[in-house]
Amino acid sequence: MKRLIFIFTVLFLSRASLVAQPVIDPDLEMEMQHIGDEEKTKVVILLSEQSDATALLREAEYFASRQEQRQFVIETLKRQAETTQYELIGLLNDMERNGMVDEIQQFWLVNCVSCKANKAAINDLAQHRDIMTIYRCKETQWIFENEAMPAPRGNGREITENLLQVNAPQVWEQGYKGADVLIAVIDTGIRLDHADLAGRLWDGGAEYPNHGYDFYYHDNDPSDDWGHGTHVAGTICGTGASGSQTGVAPEATIMALKTFNSDGVGEETHWVAAMQFALEHGADLMNMSLGRPQPNPAQKLMTRQACDNTLAAGVVVAACAGNIRQMQFMVPVPNNIYTPGDCPPPHLHEDQLVNAGGTSCVICVGAVNYDNAIASFSSEGPSQWTDVAAYNDYPYTEGCTTEIGLIRPDICAPGVRIKSLDFNTTDGYTLMDGTSMATPLVAGTIALLLSKNHELTPAQIDEILERTAVKLTEHKSNDFGSGLLDALAAVNAVEACDGINEQSIEAEIFPNPSSGSFTIVCEGVKRVSVYTVDGRLVQNQLVKGSECLIEGLESGVYLVRIETDKETFVRIIVKM
């Protein structure tokens, strides 16, 4: 087990407040000029205090397992949101009673609140000292119309061409098929009764009986009414039960998170809520075959904060580059990549270091055809972040050898005439094109890597995928990224988990969370120390026997350092 060292830093440095900017976003200002005094518009209120995800990631890395890291980050972000949003929520509740706002929703993955507000409420909120930006949250097209062509069922032995192109069958022969890996598919929903997904859907228990949740309609039915999400899910783990093997990770498990309606329309609050859900319910990675073209700086800030904090939680996201390469007359470089695909990767390739910036959870995926030529629609990088004051990184100047922007995509995969599951039937198949179709091939391959070593970090996953890709250009490029996905080479580059990072001594803490005391039971324990998340020691006990009682704590998140006669490790406790 790796040695744990306590080096605590301030987790919540606010980068966004360092640069003056208008509180009411210009787009919202314009909207306010065209609505009546009592008419309400949907807004997102970004608080001035946003987490320093780099510091948060640094702290989280001291935990022995991905599960502990995730729990620490979630509880820390929730505590930040609870304390910093308290005064704002009180104000919003007063406004709601006066008919000025409604539909209040709090978030913690990004420190923000959404609501519908009239002009007077927006102007009053803009005077609040804790608010950085208020921007208009309008529904837009995230998933675009994609002609689906019927495809025949296979003969029971067919393996689809895209899987053959990335050498997936050779990985299965080694015994790696994505078992025990949970993938959140954030999309239009899934045809839950398709035969090729039988046994492959997340068990959400009595609370989520339909294998996920619908964040667009806010109900327990994430059924697909568009077809996009079903096709994506089939590329990840379609079993071939109806005759055609479409899934790169046929033993992986899918969590169905619906965030768009039947037209592919939604808003970023839907998928941020879905990301929160995925993190809280144990998803190992997320597939986001979606994107917003040309977001404004406030929307980009919202997106990158979500992706930065997801990285800190130890979870990677496969996201599509977009399908607007041929629309550069309207959406030119460096804005041709969809958001969140334009966010940075977890690992910076050596070709990026001339213009290095921050990192996030996003592995951006472009598309090629079956001849390894760039797909005519696959969006072209780079992206840039100098228009977002809180980040101000990855500058781009056309023709400059140093200000090269952020190279996008990171990797490419087959995305033309991809055969996968048809949502109109329980056993049919269909063909679709798009970087949306390439992205789940990467997500499924990540599941293969995690089935070999479940403790891989997002940075390790990204580096492995990029270093083992089949090079299609001499350097990482804004067409192909680092090259064509090679599932076999990637899995072969992973060392099988040998238990180094696994906890060899069991420690039980109950109840946790607790509104009173905590009991720790651990064989061989000698000392138990309790710290606040900013490193302040609040309790220190020498222990005789195998049991220790912790009591008298104020509400909050704490780190418990447990020393035994063999090793030292950390656990998280939450006092309610």
For the chain of 576 residues, list the mean pLDDT of each consecutive stretch of 10. Answer: 31 40 91 94 97 89 85 95 97 98 98 98 96 94 76 93 98 98 98 98 98 97 96 98 98 97 91 98 97 92 97 98 95 97 97 95 98 98 96 97 97 98 97 97 98 96 98 98 98 72 65 89 88 79 88 87 81 83
Q: For residue 534, what pLDDT is reported?
A: 63
Find all residues with CB under 8 Å of 547, minimum gap 6, and list them. Answer: 519, 520, 521
Enumerate the domain spans of the chain: 16-138, 149-492, 507-575
Q: Where are the alpha helices (DSSP H) in 126-218?
A: 161-165, 168-173
Task: Please give the span between the terminal C-alpha atoms of the chain, in angstroms, as a whole number.
Answer: 31
The pTM score is 0.86
For residues 544 and 549, give the distance between their C-alpha atoms in angstroms, rounded to a whole number: 12
Share of the chain above pLDDT 70, in %: 94
Q: For residue 162, what pLDDT is reported?
A: 98
How many CA atoms within 13 Å lie on the side-chain side of 459? Answer: 13
For residues 431 and 366, give the distance between their C-alpha atoms in angstroms, rounded to a whole number: 18
Handedness of CA 409, 411, 412, 413 (dihedral sign): negative
3-state DSSP of 389-456? CCCCECCECCCCCCCECECCCCEEEECCCEEEECCCCCCCEEEECCHHHHHHHHHHHHHHHHHHCCCC
Q: For helices 268-280 and 66-84, give the axis angle rounded to 10 degrees.
A: 130
Identify the CATH number of the domain defined by range 149-492.
3.40.50.200
Q: For residue 144, what pLDDT is reported?
A: 67
Q: For residue 533, what pLDDT is reported?
A: 67
Q: For residue 503, what pLDDT is reported?
A: 44
Burial of 37 (0-12, 13-18, 19+ CB in 10 A): exposed
Q: For residue 12, what pLDDT is reported?
A: 36
Q: For residue 8, what pLDDT is reported?
A: 33
So what's the architecture of 507-575 in CATH? Sandwich (2.60)
For residues 360 and 458, give the distance between their C-alpha atoms in angstroms, rounded to a whole number: 9
CB of 517 closer than 8 Å to CB of 449: no
For residues 164 and 169, give the distance between their C-alpha atoms in angstroms, rounded to a whole number: 7
User: pLDDT tens across 280-300, in order?
Assistant: 999 999 999 999 988 999 999
Query: Class of 16-138 per CATH?
Result: alpha beta
**How many residues comprise the chain?**
576
Q: For residue 314, what pLDDT is reported?
A: 96
